[in-house]
Amino acid sequence: MSSPRADPGDLEDAEVIERSVTSPDRFSVIFDRHAAHIHRYLVRRIGPVAAEDALGETFLVAFRKREGYDTERRDARPWLYGIATNLVAQRRRDEVRELKLREALGPPPDEEGTPNASPTR
């Protein structure tokens, strides 16, 4: 373990996360180190707009679970990729569920309240 006065930029991720349990503002070091990598990963998987939200969700989940972080793992990036991957998978499951629901409900009614018919070809 480094000295208590060590610059957070000089500490390994595990030490920063461990210290952030009692000093939550220290977790910003983890964001600063890894956000760009996680963002690029998310953009490739779900596009730039959704990636912005997912990036915030990823670090929020990480922040909330930081007390359970395995400090034997010096680098937090694989942990963050795992969180991001789980969020992408959940987002996709939600999208599939919504599409199935929309399909089961049929087309929305028109302004007069009658169901829109699909054009026949």
Report the pLDDT value the prediction gives residue 7, as an integer from 0 to 100: 63
Count Cα atoms within 13 angstroms, Cβ side, for 22: 4
Report the pLDDT value the prediction gives residue 110, as an integer from 0 to 100: 77
Q: Reduce the DSSP state of residue 115 to 3 states and report it.
A: strand
How confident is the prediction for the chain on average, in pLDDT?
89
Report the pLDDT value the prediction gives residue 118, as an integer from 0 to 100: 57
Q: Is the pLDDT of residue 6 over 70?
A: no
pLDDT digits (tens, 9 = 90+) for 19-53: 999 999 999 999 999 999 999 999 999 999 999 99
d(CA 42, CA 87): 10
Nearest to 52 by CA among 24, 79, 87, 25: 87
Among the listed ranges 5-9, 24-28, 66-70, 95-99, which one has the minimum average pLDDT value? 5-9
Among the listed ranges 17-26, 46-55, 58-67, 100-109, which one has the minimum average pLDDT value? 100-109
Q: Region 102-120: what's the mean pLDDT?
A: 73
d(CA 64, CA 58): 10
What percent of the chain is modeled with pLDDT above 70?
85
